[in-house]
Amino acid sequence: METLLNDFSPGLFIVQVILLLALIFLMVKFAWKPILNSLNEREAGIQDALAAAEKAKADMQNLQADNDRMLKEARAEREAMLKEAREIKDKMIADSKEQAKAEGDKMIKQAQATIESEKKAAVADIKSQVAELSVSIAEKVLKEELSAKDKQLQLVEKMLGDIKLN
């Protein structure tokens, strides 16, 4: 202990106190303050940059989601339009088919009616012609019969037989 106290140099102590004070003052002024300020600034900058990056990422995600949603909507809309168009087309085809069929039926019916009436007219015509022919034939027969009685009968007989055949 005595050696320790003997070794303690008050002069060195005073010099050290003065030098340390000066050193602390100078270091704080010229080194620590600017260094710590810059470090803090840099750290704050990094923090800000990270936050900004995070925000940009979130924005990006929102944008992506929006895009996806819009794309989906557009796709659905297209799908709906296509479906509608197809329905309209089908309906139009069906309608026209029906109309055509009705028209056709109508025409066929008209044609049939015409044919029927033509046929009736033709039959009537034939009938009248047959009657005329029968009358003329009868006229001729009568004329012949007036000439020869046997022959008249014979003809009537034959004619009757022909009519039967008819």
Partner 1 sequence: MKDVSKVIKKLVLFLAIGSSLQGFAVSEGQKEGTVSSKEDVDAYILHHIKDAHDFHLFSYTNSEGERKHVGFPLPVILWSSNGLVTFMSSEFHHDDNGEVVVEKNGSKFVKLHSKIYELEEGATSLSLDEDHHAANAHKVLDFSITKSVFGILLVGLFMLWAFSSLAKQYKSKSVPTGFGRVLEPLVIYVRDEIARPNIGEKKYRKFTGYLLTVFFFIWILNLLGLTPFGFNVTGQLAVTAALAIFTLFIYTFSGNKDYWMHMLWMPGVPVLIRPVLAIIELAGAFIIKPFSLLVRLFANISAGHIVVMSLIAIMFTLKETLTVGGATALSFVLSFFITLIEVLVAFLQAYIFTMLSALFIGMAVAEHEHEHEHDAEGHVVPDAEDVRGDFI
Closest approach, Cβ 40 to partner 1, in A, equals 9
Interacting residues toward partner 1 by CB under 8 A: 4, 6-17, 19-20, 22-24, 26-28, 30-36, 38-39, 42, 45
Displacement of CA 34 from its chain's centroid (Å): 70
Closest approach, Cβ 47 to partner 1, in A, equals 14
Which residue, 34 or 161, is less far from partner 1 as judged by CB?
34
Closest approach, Cβ 84 to partner 1, in A, equals 56
Question: How many CA atoms are closer than 13 Å to the CA of 53, on its beta-carbon side?
Answer: 6
Structure tokens at 129: 């012609």
Structure tokens at 67: 């895009």
Which residue, 31 or 123, is less far from partner 1 as judged by CB?
31
Closest approach, Cβ 54 to partner 1, in A, equals 21
Distances 106 to 93, 102, 109, 118 between C-alpha atoms, Å: 20, 6, 5, 18
Which residue, 39 or 102, is less far from partner 1 as judged by CB?
39
Mapping DSSP to helix (H, G, I), strand (E, B) and coil, where does residue 16 land? helix
